[in-house]
Structure 1
Amino acid sequence: MARLTRAESQARTREQLIETAKQLFLRDGYSVTSLEKVADEAGYSKGAVYSNFRSKDELCLTVLDRIHDEQVALIAEALVGADGVEGLLAAFQTWAERSIGDEAWTSLEVEFATNARRDPHVRAELAARDKAIRDTIAGLLTGYAERFGITLPMSADDAATALLSLGIGLGVQRAIDPTIPVNVLPDVIRIFAGVH
C-alpha cells in the first residue's frame, strides 16, 4: 500500500476531525464539546485540531456546512423523478418528515446561533450562510414557478425568507414535540403556488 502524501494525510486528518466533531456536537451539544475531546475521540493531538481550524466556532461552522450539504443532497435525491407540483410537494414532505425537527441537528443549530450573538464574526458567517440558503430557495421557487406557470404572491426572495423561517420554527417545535405534523410547510407552499 502506497504511503499517503502530506496533503492526503492532512486532508484525511481534517476529514476525521470534522466527522468526529459532528458526532460529538450532535450527541453532546456545542458548549460541552471541547476541542480536546474532539482531538481525543479522533485520535489526534489538540495541535492537530488547531492546525486545521482556528477555533471551535470555525470547526462548528464547518460541521454545520457538512450537515446542510447532506440535507441538500437528501432533498435533491427526494425530488429526482417527482412529477408535477403535487409530486414535488409529496417528495418534499417525505424529506421534511425525516429531517425537520431532528432533535440533535435542531439543538445544535439553535445552541450555536445563540452563542454566536456575542461574536460579530461568527454572526456574519452565519448570516452569509443563511443568505445562501435563502438565495437557493428563491432560485428553486423561481425555477419551479416558471416551469409550472405559477405566479408567486410575493417576490421569490420574500417567499424564501418566509418558508425558511417557517421551516426553522417548525423544526424547533418538532424537536420539542415530534407529534407536530410537517404538512403545514408543504401546505403553505401550496398556498404560495395557488394550488389548494
Structure 2
Amino acid sequence: MARLTRAQSQARTRERLVATARQMFLTDGYHATSLDKVADTAGFSKGAVYSNFRNKDELCLAVLDDIHAAQIEEIAAVIAGKDQESAIAAFTGWAERMIGDEGWTLLEVEFAVQARRDPALRAELAARDRSIRATIAALADAWGEHNGPAALPSDDLATALLSLGIGLGIQRVIDPTIRVQVLTDTLRALIAAPDRQPT
C-alpha cells in the first residue's frame, strides 16, 4: 500500500477529529466536550488537534458544516425528481427523523449561545446561516422551474422555512409529541399558492 503524503495524512487526521468531535458534541454537548477528550478518543495528541483547528469553536464550526452539508444533501436527494406531493411526503419523512433530534438541536442552541459575546464567531455563524438559506432558496428555485412559483420569493421562503424548522426543532426537543406536520403544512401552503405572492 502506498504511503500517504503529508497532506493526505493531515486530511485524514482532520476528518477523524471532526468525526470524533461530532459524535462527542452530539452525545455530551459542546461545553462538556474538551479538546483533550476529542484528541484522546480519536487517538491523537492535543497537538494534532491544534495543528488542524485553532480552538474548540473552530472545531465545532467544522462539525456543524459537516452536519449541515449531510442534511442538505439528504433533503435534495429525497425530493429530487418527485412530483409535489411525493416530494412533500419524502421531506416529511426526513423532518420526522431530524427536526427535534436532541443532539443536533441542542448543539446548535448551545453553540449559538456560546457565540453571543464573540462577534467573530457570530459572524461565522451568520455566514453559515446565509449559505444554508441560499441553498434552500436554490432548491426552491429549481422546484419552481418545474412546479410554478411559490407564494414567497425564494429567499423569503428559505428564511421562513429555516426559521420554522429551527423553532420547531427546539419545541420538539422539549415536547416530542408536537407534530412536524406544521412545517410540511406550511411548506405546502407556501409552494401551492402563487396567487398570493406579495407584490
The one-letter amino acid paired with 1:57 is: D
CA root-mean-square deviation: 1.3
1:20-66 deviations in Å (ceiling 9; x for gaps): 11111111100111111111111111111000001100000000000
After TM superposition, the runs of 4+ consecutive aligned structure 1 residues lying more than 4 A away are: none
Matched position secondary structure for 2:51: helix
Q: Unaligned 5+ residue runs, structure 2? A: 194-199
**Which residue does 1:114 correspond to in 2?**
113
1:120-144 deviations in Å (ceiling 9; x for gaps): 1110010001011111111222221
**Which residue does 1:165 correspond to in 2?**
163
**Which residue does 1:145 correspond to in 2?**
144
Out of 4-13 and 73-82, give the one that drifted further: 73-82
Structure 2 contact 137–158 (Cα < 8 Å) conserved: yes
The one-letter amino acid paired with 1:39 is: A
Mapping 1:1-196, distance limit 5 Å: 1-82=1-82, 84-150=83-149, 152-194=150-192
Structure 2 contact 14–52 (Cα < 8 Å) conserved: yes
Identity %: 64
**TM-score normalised to the size of structure 1?**
0.94
**What is the CA distance between 1:73 and its match in structure 2?**
2.1
Out of 13-22 and 136-145, give the one that drifted further: 136-145
The one-letter amino acid paired with 2:140 is: L
Aligned length: 193
**What is the CA distance between 1:81 and its match in structure 2?**
4.1
Q: Unaligned 5+ residue runs, structure 1? A: none
The one-letter amino acid paired with 1:129 is: R
Go from structure 1 to structure 2 and tell me whether the alpha carbon gap of 1:110 and 1:164 turns closer, same or farther (over 3 Å shift): same
Structure 2 contact 133–162 (Cα < 8 Å) conserved: yes
